[in-house]
Structure 1
Amino acid sequence: MTARILDGTATAQALLDETAERAAKLTEQLGRKPCLVTVLVGEDPASVTYVKMKGNRARKYGLESRRIVLPETSTTAEVVAQVEALAADNTVDGILVQHPVPSQVDEPAVFEAIGAAKDVDGVTMASFAAMGLGRPGFQSCTPGGIIRLLDAYEVPLAGQHAVVVGRSPILGKPVGLLLLERNATVTYCHSKTRDLAEVVKTADIVVAAVGKPELIRGDWIKEGAVVVDGGYNPGNVGDVEYAAAAERASWITPVPGGVGPMTIATLLAQTVDAAAARVG
């Protein structure tokens, strides 16, 4: 068996085109473009690159993009005050606080200052609860993008055994909640899991989200399983041994070109959703 590709680049492009159309209509209704503000604390090179890329993509598809850069030495109170000001600004639809923040800043406290209505990155407790309870709200962008990608290729989720390897609050945990909401049976694996290989071998759907190059070996993949690689490591290497896994899987995401493009597309789509909610 040779796996078919879950093409995140093409699927994201379709979502971005749709988002641009919606943004144009909302611009007419609001008298301004839907607005995404990114808050960056410090000058971490990778974070600077990500923020710039997100801003460029937002502008390309009809959104206003603002960037606020705070000093590396900022305190929690200072960052929270800035985010609260944005939350109260009626010209701002979505707020993204770039992760990670410096160690002296209480990141969860900063996230909570965003408020659920502008949490287009899906990082607040309210958004997490909405994902877990199946209520309206914004999804964490990478998990939400994964579900959109699986839906685009009509991959069945109900009744499937999904194994999520990783339990981070921005990927592993929320993607498991979203899969559970779609009636998959979900098993979480992590650094304390015994016999990881044996657990992965039982999966109909494998979601790798650990940030360790090729941790998931190809011969762990059950014949016909769907493999979603949410990892990205130096050298364009994911968390799954791609070539070997592709010989056994029915569907697989490439790295790059799989999950990554869906993350930004989902962020922009949710920003337009937030703007639409303001219109009512």
Structure 2
Amino acid sequence: MSNMQRATEALRASKKVVFFTGAGISAESGIPTFRDKLTGLWTKHDPERLETAAAFRENPALIWSWYLWRRHQVGQAKPNAAHLAIPQLSNAGWEVSVVTQNIDDLHERAGSSQVVHLHGSLMDVKCFACHRPGKLTPAQLGIPEEGQLIEPPRCVRCNGKLRPGVVWFRENLPEGAWRSAVRLVKNCDLLISVGTSGVVMPAADIPNMALAAGATVIHVNLEDVGLDAADEIMLTGAAGVFLPALLRALGVGAPLPPDGLT
């Protein structure tokens, strides 16, 4: 039996499915991963050096402008076939949740409603000083022109500088989001890990957590990231190909082509 057939049977036998997604799923929508070189105004910058509280303290205008550019970049992107397949599975009767490491809103724009953001969201802002959530006006969302840096807006409560509502390097995950993710993973029948690197902890431990709880794990990735467990299935290739194909094999959507997928 091919891995594709094994994955189809595992999905057919499941009821509660958790999709655990990383940068790879959004890369197919044109959003670069950390392994990709930056383009445009930011070619001289290392994203890992822009993603820290220390960098914000040192140069808040640079970091704020970087995130305005990223927010614009995400706004231009569209959900791809992999994002769209997930709510289709939910509409077909499966109990589906999403746990994502991504800070874009492509899952929600594709129609998924049960989404846990482990690393926050580009659409949110909060105060760097008092940590309360903030709001931006449309006028505060313009992207900087070349050579221009924009100072972050101020918190209406304490006058602290607003920062993106995302998790930076060396920051803890939001406790509520992590608890929700753990609960979903430990109670699912099937975990489908899509486009995750398996290196960012503690999120990287989620497939192991699912296996330990008795679930089957399907990996969909351009590289083999399997853990060699008996209840693990590796699908090496594009998520935008494999996820719709899984649905078609279940009779959700158009039939598979004659040669199928392996």
Question: Does the alignment reach a TM-score above 0.5?
Answer: no
TM-score by length of 1: 0.33
Q: Which has the higher helix share?
A: 1
TM-score by length of 2: 0.35
